[in-house]
Structure 1
């Protein structure tokens, strides 16, 4: 069997993107700790500048806690139209080098530059060029990770942030992964990391020493992923057109609500927002999921799959109502959300990728 060709993958990640855009557009904010998000009691930090991160402020943190950590914190309302505008300019730079660009969000993307438009054999030099072009054309800095697959490239892009890059050459992969702290493995969250610590797994080397049977016993469906990536095997290709799997919206309330009348009013607004997004994306879905976060922060989801695709506010709201009345509320509610999945954009399952290990070839990285 002919060996699979080894790929050259770059993961580009903008540095504190939303916060950096705000500092770019308002020079008075430069060098100051800022948080993009709401400053109310129920506000949440969407992004934090590096100056704010020094105080422990981070995304998804409650605005109240963020302000407590950093009393000088400045809150700025998000401007997503502006972020999209700059993101599109950055993406156009990527396309100067390759058409194999897979955006993960407005501020990060994978690029496959194994064969590229510049004919440059060095992925590291391409990454450096791209980062310089982004700086020249937008005034913003980016970091990058370069390696043989998406997993390692993403992990590497965090190493020399901000405004840096790290290359993990093919021959360096085993040593790099064995020395890697387990919490830095992409896909290992806080809860999983703590579980691994209890099992004596602190580094990639510890993980690599565990058998498939051991991982299966403790991690179930994730066993194959952990077993493969710690050995440098991650065959997921850079997919230029990522298929949307779901679409939704949610609202956090200024005050907890316990009245179903008020909940229905909020669900109507959310359904209207989803209809607008579905129309814009030209998609529809079959599965409606209602998300409820109670005042004690416990989270509950309720789902219903229909026999037909829907995209109208009326049908989304009708299904959400049934889910709301499905069982009695156990507490007052601080957040409601609706999402639509099982979309008509999804393709039939493709054949599972073959699990051959790519032979490591020597070439400029």
Structure 2
């Protein structure tokens, strides 16, 4: 989808059309959740601190996040996908892989299929989408950004390697900020540069990710489209308006986050064995503490106590705390096991 959250806000409030709109909070510790293309022209991007975004564009218009609305629209779009393929792998609320090899809708080409899906989305939701069409997931993902917004791009069989070699390394799926900086330090700036590196070189510098980078530089990706991918974790985090220094306040906030996470687990009937606490200091340094139990966590009190026990491991604080988070992982779709409280003392 094109600027999904922000586009929904424009659809629902036409007076915002043409303005640099962002979803998020203008508060000092706010973060941009989504930005319209008008805002992006000023260099405003999602995940950017609101204070930075305002410096780039003082005329930004902030609208609050409405997750329930975004989820409902996402479900509409997923229903459209289901008419064209039984193999749909969502990546997020606004993006998915579709394998149309079986040609469920009886359409002549994948290109035509993408065009029809995009038309259906616009007709039924009032929103635009872009599509990448190719013979594997990596190339389709890269192609989906090529003609945004409201466009599509085909990388046909035999063109994948040449296409990958033209891309800047920052565009590569799976290359995050840290890896991008490392690659640039190694003079790997484009797909062409990555293509020149040997497998041994990439394994030496990037470990287990080396073979992946070696393959995608050649347009190779053998991963299948996996429908209904099982969720592996559930988490919640919050950024505070002012830094926290008080240990008791931090434990209270951690307990509240743990309750939020367990609420999702209970609703989804998925319970985990591993709890992780994240602490981000005022200088943006981040630490995590994790513990796995021998059985799944099936009551909120156990998760709350475990999370508080984990956060105590960072006391005394070396600096003020700007963000706290709690995550439960190693989820299982079953209940009925009880975790003994003595496990918290391990």
Q: Is the 8 A contact 2:255 2:305 kept in 1?
A: no
Structure 2 distance, partners of 1:192, 1:165, is 28
Deviation beyond 4 Å, 4+ runs, structure 1: none
Q: Could you tell me which residue of structure 2 aligns to residue 280 of structure 1? A: 267
Whether 1:316 and 2:300 are equivalent positions in the alignment is: no
Unpaired stretches in structure 2, ≥5 consecutive residues: 335-346
Q: Secondary structure at the match of 2:270?
A: coil
Unpaired stretches in structure 1, ≥5 consecutive residues: 1-13, 347-365
Give 1:314 shift.
Answer: 0.8
Whether 1:342 and 2:330 are equivalent positions in the alignment is: yes
What pairs up with 1:1-365 in 2 under 5 angstroms? 14-328=1-315, 329-345=317-333
Across the aligned residues of Structure 1 and Structure 2, the Cα RMSD in angstroms comes to: 1.2
Q: TM-score, normalised by structure 1?
A: 0.89
Q: Deviations over 1:166-219 (max 9, x none)?
A: 000012112111222211110112222222222222222221221111111111
Q: TM-score, normalised by structure 2?
A: 0.94
Q: Deviations over 1:89-119 (max 9, x none)?
A: 1111111111111111111111000112222
Moved more, 279-288 or 118-127: 118-127
Structure 1 distance, partners of 2:45, 2:267, is 31
Give 1:242 shift.
Answer: 0.8
Structure 1 distance, partners of 2:40, 2:30, is 17
Give 1:345 shift.
Answer: 4.7
Give 1:259 shift.
Answer: 0.6
Give 1:322 shift.
Answer: 1.4
Distance 1:290 1:82, change over 3 A: same
Q: Deviations over 1:319-345 (max 9, x none)?
A: 112112224221111111100011115
